[in-house]
Amino acid sequence: MSFGKSPDVAAVRKFSTGIRPYTSLNESSFKRGVAVSVGKKKWNADAFYSNRKLDANLNSILDSTLEQQDIFTSFIESGYHRTTSELENKNTIREKLYGINAGYNVRNFSAGITALHVDYDRPLQRSFQLYNRFDFSGKQFTKVGIDYSWLYRNINFFGEFSRSDNGAIAFVNGAIISLGTTVSISVVNRNYPRDFNFLYASGFGESSTTRNEKGTYAGIVIRPNRYWGFNGYLDRFTFPWLRFGADAPSKGYEYLWQVSWNPSRQFEIYFRNRRTQKEENSSAAAIADYLVFKRQDNYRFNLTYRISKAVAIRNRIEWVRINYEEKPDEKGFMIYQDILFKPLSSPISGSVRYGLFDTDSYDSRIYAFENDILYSYSIPSFYNRGFRYYVTLRYKVTKGVDLWFRFAQTVYTNQKTFGSGLDEINNNKRSEIKLQVRYQF
């Protein structure tokens, strides 16, 4: 997992974290096997092997000899095994994965090479759509890549080139430039071909698939003094091939600017505006799809104030507006209040939130990060009209033992049911309870 564009220009460069135990909540992203790290002076290397079963959607087709062949059409990453169909898709394919990453470091320069090979016991064959015509299919694939980083005076050059076994070569190159103590600039250029194998890839860009994208990003941070700061970036991108929701090659841009004021360590205010414009299919097309522009503006006002060493408050107001070429505009609004507490002399700490939201539809939804229990995270989307509240508590029972509890509830004021299908709730409320015990030894 990795994050994309942000107001921090240094975040455009991704760092290797090496071999670590898996501690996140996604039940499909971990590996099961063995890994070894070795190093001596300027050299280091990580080798790994994993062999495990995955959930997937199975199907059967007739091959060239008119015999039945089992295939899978997609991966399932929910981790749920509640219904008959979900149980039938549990552990249906086996994945063998192995590879190596080796690096060389000397003074202000480092370089590395990564090789990865994956085998599945059944072939992957996605349901055919024009936009996924060049997606990976088959039982195995191999990728090899090289990366570099060079610090020359006040400029950090970095980049990576990767080749999948079908011959497609993807690359990303960038530079972070420090112009004294007040100004920093970053520039990143990427080119991900439409037929690049995006499985186990997470390159910097507009989309999360690391394929079918070209773009150039430029960001800047200005801090004229200890109180004021300005962050901004502009990213222009194109999609040379079709993508989901756009039945033709398309393009777009995104910019963000943010002004922050920190008069003291206890007080911070920032205002942010982000605009994204992309081409997508027209909703009015009757015979043949054609592209139209969709523009989205997000505005955010955030205030954080530390009342004391034990208590802090956080307020946020967020507003979104979406402009369409061929249908009415949409808008959305959200406001919430946080209270975070961590008394030094008490075994109890936690956070509380109460928020209101009102949007025209799912398209004008607003995302908001929430405090959660240890090793978990929550970034839900809010749409329609209602309110949400949650409380997260940690109780330190004794040395090495702590207890986490979280209760969250969303209440919709303009609808009587929530969800669809087997997940439908015949009520306007959705509640969530989490309980966790950790024992350290």
What pLDDT shows up at residue 27? 76
Separation in Å, CA 245 to CA 9, 112, 131, 275, 371: 30, 37, 9, 19, 33
Query: Can you tell me the distance from the alpha carbon of 315 to that of 329, in angstroms, rounded to the nearest whole number?
Result: 27
Domains contained in the chain, number = 1
What pLDDT shows up at residue 285? 61
- By the 10 Å C-beta count (0-12 exposed, 13-18 middle, 19+ buried), 14 is classed as middle
Q: Is residue 158 part of a domain?
A: no
Q: Is residue 330 part of a domain?
A: yes
Bigger pLDDT: 370 or 425?
Answer: 370
Handedness of CA 79, 203, 382, 409 (dihedral sign): positive
Domain that holds residue 406: 293-298+309-441
Torsion angle, CA of 202/208/209/214, rounded to 10 degrees? -90
- By the 10 Å C-beta count (0-12 exposed, 13-18 middle, 19+ buried), 342 is classed as middle
Which pLDDT band holds residue 241 (cuts at 50, 70, 90)? very high
- Which of 134-148, 161-175, 276-290, 383-397 bottoms out in mean pLDDT, i.e. has the lowest? 276-290
What pLDDT shows up at residue 101? 95
Does 24 score more than 80 pLDDT? no
Q: What is the pLDDT averaged over residues 400-422?
A: 91
- Which of 42-51, 66-75, 137-146, 392-401 bottoms out in mean pLDDT, i.e. has the lowest? 66-75
Does 62 score more than 80 pLDDT? no
Bigger pLDDT: 288 or 50?
Answer: 50
Does 398 score more than 80 pLDDT? yes
What pLDDT shows up at residue 65? 67
Q: Is residue 355 part of a domain?
A: yes
Q: Is residue 372 part of a domain?
A: yes
Q: What is the pLDDT averaged over residues 38-57?
A: 94
- The letter for the amino acid at 114 is T
Q: What is the pLDDT averaged over residues 352-378?
A: 94
What pLDDT shows up at residue 16? 78
Sort strands 267-281 and 43-54 into parallel, antiparallel or unpaired: unpaired
What pLDDT shows up at residue 209? 87
Q: What is the pLDDT averaged over residues 90-111?
A: 95
What pLDDT shows up at residue 258? 96
Which pLDDT band holds residue 36 (cuts at 50, 70, 90)? very high
- The letter for the amino acid at 11 is A
Which pLDDT band holds residue 287 (cuts at 50, 70, 90)? low
What pLDDT shows up at residue 165? 92
Share of the chain above pLDDT 90, in %: 73
What pLDDT shows up at residue 326? 84
Q: Is residue 278 part of a domain?
A: no
Does 392 score more than 80 pLDDT? yes
Does 395 score more than 70 pLDDT? yes
What pLDDT shows up at residue 82? 87
What pLDDT shows up at residue 286? 59
What pLDDT shows up at residue 70? 87
Does 87 score more than 70 pLDDT? yes
Q: Is residue 436 part of a domain?
A: yes
Query: Can you tell me the distance from the alpha carbon of 63 to that of 301, in angstroms, rounded to the nearest whole number?
Result: 58
Please tell me the total number of residues recorded for the chain in this structure: 441
Q: Is residue 56 part of a domain?
A: no
Which pLDDT band holds residue 432 (cuts at 50, 70, 90)? very high
Query: Can you tell me the distance from the alpha carbon of 440 to that of 1, in angstroms, rounded to the nearest whole number?
Result: 26
Q: Is residue 194 part of a domain?
A: no
What pLDDT shows up at residue 297? 97
What mean pLDDT, rounded, does the chain reach?
92
